[in-house]
Amino acid sequence: MIGKNVLIQLILTAASSLIGFISLSISARLFGPFILGHLSYVLGITGLTFAFSDLGLSRAQVHFTAAFHSAQKTLGTFLSLKFILLFATAGVALIIALINPAQFKGIFIIILLYELLSRLAESVFITYEGLQLSWPQNLAKFLAKLFRLLAILLIGFKLTSVLGFSLIYLVEALVLILLSVWLMRRFFPLNFSKTLTNQYLKYSLPFFIIVPISYLQANLLIVLLKHFHSANEVGFYSTALNLSAYLKVLFGTIMVFFFPKLSSLFQKNDLNGIKNYLNLSLKYLLMIFTPMFMFSFLLRKEIILFVLGQDFIPAIPVFSWMLLATYILLLANPYDYTLYATKKHASLVKVNLISLIISLLLSVYLMFYLHLGAAGAAVVNLIIWSFSGFYSLWLIKKNLGFSLYSHTLHFILPAGILILINNTIFDFYATPLVLKIVLSSTGILIYLFYLYISQLIKLKDIKYFINLLKSK
């Protein structure tokens, strides 16, 4: 049942996030913004070529595995196509590296292996999403995070260099590939189907542009930030991005399991069911994660200092903008998934192309002309994600006749008012940490009480989460 799968995945994702927080915190203190920034830059360069290593095939794998209720029919074909793309893009990356090898500081091969192994492992893990199974891939990722933390402790204290930090990434990738091979055994024997290949390519065709553009946009931002400023600025940006990404991963976890259900409802041509399910998903996302965003935003300075340390104080405004940008993603996420599930995703090609162009122009203006550095990169994300989110909502309205969940503003406005009140107090009065936590927590309790008395949260919603524990 979807409820139990979501609960298991949320628990494992939360545990992985906790390990990730600890790993990021230790890494930031051991290696500092320059090394973290330089490795992010190298990953950004390799990411430009590996942007073409999927082309929407992973989306197709989830879709067809869910449709067939079987991975044995799909995994062999999917892996065959992925192998071709991965090794082709790795070859291109190698050629590019030979043009100017000095910029990689001798770690290119390590990063190339990391990209190949981690993406191959993810090809197996993504299959479990189509099967609506949560624990296998999430347990594997949790174990990989533990080994990453162990590698940081063993390597980081002895080799505080770019090489040392890159080896930590490689350790994590090796654990992921070994665990993915072990998980893959249940789907043997693997078979290749030419007919299914054609179906994959047909379904993925719109993603041939959408997926690479998404990766290009994210990686170009890092490369341009390094070009216009420094590795330190990239370090501030990448760490703030990683911190906000933990919330993104958590709410993305829920949508992973809504997607197969939406696909199933579309197969039955149940548009009313899709609409109800879409509204339900956004309602629960807002109910669960708005308090988390409130707490994170109000204590953003303390979070940066606690997790990253004094060297990362310049990352505080970057983290603020990234939290706002991530909240925009939360609002748009269910509508994006609905477009994919109802095969209306071809319409996203246009907005992705426009977003890439706008991103490039904004990057030059904010990071080069206005010299905003990492904060400018975060503002670019906020603008682009807002634009693409509104476009997705417009496409949903145009193609399916669905509007934004009617109570969305009732969830957002009270939270915004409470944040504004608390933030004003923190800005104008010297507020000790304990008092900040008390006031922030009080604001969240007032918010939840408002949701309850206005019946945005009902008793049946609370019972739903209790029933998750009883789901089979």
Give per-residue pLDDT as tens, 291-341: 999 999 999 999 999 989 899 999 999 999 999 999 998 888 888 777 777
End-to-end Cα distance, the chain = 6
Supply 250's token pair. 């958590």
State yes or no: pLDDT of 149 exceeds 90.
yes
State yes or no: pLDDT of 440 exceeds 90.
yes
pLDDT, one tens digit per residue, over 103-138 is 666 788 888 899 899 989 988 888 887 776 767 878
CA distances for 4 relative to 73, 131, 257, 282, 464, angstroms: 25, 13, 10, 18, 11
**Per-residue confidence band for 1, with pLDDT thresholds at 50, 70 and 90:** very low
Supply 418's token pair. 């409470």
**Looking at residue 51, what DSSP letter applies?**
T
Residue of higher predicted confidence among 459 and 444:
444
The C-alpha atoms of residue 312 and residue 241 are separated, in whole angstroms, by: 13
The C-alpha atoms of residue 386 and residue 294 are separated, in whole angstroms, by: 19
Q: Is 117 in contact with 173 (CB distance < 8 Å)?
A: yes
Find the mean pLDDT for residues 229-248: 89
Find the mean pLDDT for residues 178-200: 83
**Looking at residue 224, what DSSP letter applies?**
H
Residue type, 354: I
pLDDT, one tens digit per residue, over 368-417 is 889 898 999 999 999 999 998 888 888 888 887 888 888 889 999 999 99
Model pTM above 0.75: yes
- Residue 408, pLDDT score: 87
pLDDT, one tens digit per residue, over 256-265 is 666 666 666 7
The C-alpha atoms of residue 209 and residue 199 are separated, in whole angstroms, by: 17
Instruction: Indicate the domain borders of the chain.
Output: 1-204, 206-472
The C-alpha atoms of residue 156 and residue 143 are separated, in whole angstroms, by: 19
Least confident of 207-221, 230-244, 322-336: 207-221
State yes or no: pLDDT of 472 exceeds 50.
no
